């Protein structure tokens, strides 16, 4: 177990609705990255937060937004949901592990499975 | 063009076989390289980092060729428990953002 938690585990929404997914990073980690994994595909980078600031963004439209809180937990918000947004959403944290910087490695949470009907 | 290209397989091999996975990456500025393993409906987990000098961890050997922008993973003496999807990952940018390949599916058959 990595210590990264995500909620909810599963979620069903309808087209046009909005959704908020949550992630708690591993203790000592100040960087959180979000990924979307469609069925049969590898995870796709959405964006990354470092110390509450966005620190890079993948090829996703502005209706995908996020934030990071002072305790380094993070939220991913998706507005105007589309059918193609159905996927597993993964959060990964990085930072200091066991007293040393390990930004090179990302630790993934179990994911939130979003279904859009 | 995708950052990382990977043969999706599937690879079906008998126990004890040796199997090799390859991937290529497009951005020469890529900084770090990894193989992650993902079991069905689970999150990806780090299998090993990949270095230019090559590195080995038990039955697993990873290799990086920066000139050809090519990464490989060799699994020797395959076990049933090796059945999973293997994801090739390159890291880019100041925040070490990860770019994944499609993943290669491996099934080890008794």
CB contact under 8 A, B95 and A31: yes
Tokens linked to A116:
């859009």
Q: Is A59 exposed, middle or buried (0-12, 13-18, 19+ CB in 10 A)?
A: exposed
Using DSSP's 3-state secondary structure scheme, residue A51 falls into coil
A-chain residue closest to B93, CA distance: A56
Q: Is B43 exposed, middle or buried (0-12, 13-18, 19+ CB in 10 A)?
A: buried
Q: B26 touching A, CB under 8 A?
A: no
In this predicted structure, which of A95-99, B1-5, B14-18 has the lowest mean pLDDT? A95-99
- Write the pLDDT tens digit of every residue in A32-54: 999 999 998 999 999 999 989 99
Nearest-angstrom CA–CA distance, B30 and A80? 34
Which residues from chain A sit within 8 angstroms of residue B97, using beta carbons?
33, 45, 48, 56, 58
Chain B closest-CA separation from residue A54 CA (Å): 10
Any CB–CB contact under 8 A between B7 and chain A? no
| Average pLDDT over all residues of chain B | 92
Considering only CB atoms, which chain B residues are within 8 Å of A90?
Answer: 43-44
Mean pLDDT computed over every residue of chain A: 92
Residue A100 pLDDT > 70: no
Radius of gyration from C-alpha coordinates of chain B = 13
Lowest mean pLDDT among A38-42, B76-80, B86-90, B92-96: B92-96
In tens, the pLDDT along B8-52 reads: 889 999 999 999 999 999 998 888 899 999 999 899 999 999 988
Question: Do residues B93 and A54 lie in contact, with contact meaning Cβ atoms separated by under 8 Å?
Answer: no
Of B83, B88, B68, nearest to B22 by C-alpha is: B88
């Amino acid at each position: 177990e990595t210590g990264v938690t995500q909620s909810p585990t599963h979620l069903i929404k309808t087209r046009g609705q909005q959704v908020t997914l949550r992630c708690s990073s591993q203790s000592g980690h100040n960087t959180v990255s979000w990924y979307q994994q469609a069925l049969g595909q590898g995870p796709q980078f959405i964006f990354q937060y470092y110390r509450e600031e966005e620190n890079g963004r993948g090829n996703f439209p502005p209706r995908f937004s996020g934030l990071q809180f002072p305790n380094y937990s993070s939220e991913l918000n998706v507005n105007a949901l589309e059918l193609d947004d159905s996927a597993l959403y993964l959060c990964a944290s990085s930072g200091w592990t066991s007293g040393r910087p390990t930004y090179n490695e990302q630790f993934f949470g179990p994911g939130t499975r979003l279904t859009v009907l | 063009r995708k950052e990382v290209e990977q043969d999706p397989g599937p690879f079906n091999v008998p126990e004890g076989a040796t199997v090799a996975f390859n991937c290529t990456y497009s951005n020469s500025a890529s900084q770090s390289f990894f193989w992650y393993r993902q079991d069905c409906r689970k999150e990806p987990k780090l299998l090993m980092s990949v270095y230019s000098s090559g590195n080995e961890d038990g039955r697993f050997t990873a290799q990086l060729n920066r000139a050809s922008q090519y990464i490989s993973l060799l699994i020797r003496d395959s076990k049933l428990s090796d059945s999973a999807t293997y994801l090739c990952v390159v890291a880019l940018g100041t925040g070490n953002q990860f770019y994944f390949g499609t993943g290669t599916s491996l099934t080890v058959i008794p």
